[in-house]
Amino acid sequence: MLRYLYTFIYYLCAPLLCIRWVYKSFKPPQYREPMRERFGFVARQKKESIWFHAVSMGESIAAKAIINELLEEKADLNIVVTTTTPTGARLILEDMGDRVTHHYSPCDLPGTIKRFAKRIKPSVLVIMETELWPNWLYHMKKAGVPIILANARMSRKSANNYLKIESLINEMMSAFSLVLAVCEADAQRFISLGVDAERSRVTGNIKFDQAFDVNEENGYYLPWSERKTLVWLAASTHRGEDQILLLAHKKVLEKLPQAKLIIVPRHPERFDEVEHLIQESGFSFARRSQPDTWRESTDVLLGDSMGELMLAYQLSDVAFVAGSLVPIGGHNVIEPAMLGKPVLSGPYVHNFQEIFHELESQGGALQASTDGEISELVVDLLENENRRNAVGSNAKKVVEKSRGALKRTVKELEPFL
């Protein structure tokens, strides 16, 4: 009954979604979303496909790792990847090229999902992390398509919210042929929501197995030629966080006048907004994309380039992972940890709760809630090289001992291919 009510409300909202997608269709190519794909009008596949779905950048990275492993074993697999956001789409298109077919994800309407499935002919659907759409799950199950949730995560807060619609969530969870959870706590939450315990496995977090090509010679990323410059990074910031972090940097400069900050907004459309905030704060600044603005005296570098966050991590001494000072839930703390960087975060880490707590318990991560707390930790780590190295080393050890999830995940998928 709840699914029918949900579908009815979705139909009522469909005109607004159309307006949104029409607007997006006029955006620059890198942000353009073909509306026809959102309603399932895609090219027909000549043979059955393996359908991977990823929401954005993080899920696309994990999906890409799995797909690469599968294609190494069997190069002729026909793989279709759907993403929800342009950032995820760009990653798949740029990194995988014509080895896969990419489409934007179809909206969750019965006619749309049936049309999309008829055209791509999925033999299995692999959903990354926690993208739960009632009609997707219902109609794929009805069509006899196995559904696998890979690198599955479920926070305590999300589980409690889903329990408020227990009848609908039980129906959705019964659709999964397999749930591959990142940890035991996540697996138990899925089971409590209706997943059959025999269909639940703990395979670990694929993000621990990511391989990144980082060239340390790319120092040209920085406007400061003196390599002894102490640099801290605020990565993937959201609205409401930049002001706090810039205020923290003011306090850092009071004790360490030579310290520098790299600030990288999560979304490209906020680059100009953050530049304005930096100017208002009175800092001398440069933009990564504009070398003519670079000066040795620059206080803050605005990271306004795509695909270079790992390089920014590499060239920094301390990393603050944002999305955690506002209730976003935090971003990927594994990236700086695998590079041996001390990891700082705000209080909202529910997207990576178990991973962050593991880093924290092993001395590889620290948490702060205010600009004062952030500045104190940054100053302490920048001033004390031994402590900085120890915290970074602890973080890297956690990553190294947690590897292996990718191979376990691929092994679980093989019977469905």
Q: Output the DSSP codes for 271-288.
A: HHHHHHHHHHTT--EEET
Question: In 10 A of CB 402, how many CB atoms?
Answer: 20
Distances, alpha carbon 60 to alpha carbons 11, 208, 332, 348, 381, in Å: 28, 14, 13, 23, 33
DSSP strand pairing (122-128 vs 147-152): parallel
Residue 83's DSSP bridge partners are 54, 104
Q: Are 352 and 364 in contact (CB under 8 A)?
A: no
Q: Are 125 and 148 in contact (CB under 8 A)?
A: yes
- Residues written for the chain: 417
Residue 318's DSSP bridge partners are 232
Instruction: Check if 354 is active-site.
Output: no
Residue of 305, 306, 296, 338 whose CA lies nearest to 321: 338
Q: Are 180 and 412 in contact (CB under 8 A)?
A: yes
Instruction: Write out the E strands in 42-89.
Output: 49-54, 79-83
DSSP strand pairing (343-345 vs 365-367): parallel
The catalytically annotated residue of 37, 59, 241, 335 is 59
Question: In 10 A of CB 98, how many CB atoms?
Answer: 7
Q: Which residues are catalytic?
A: 59
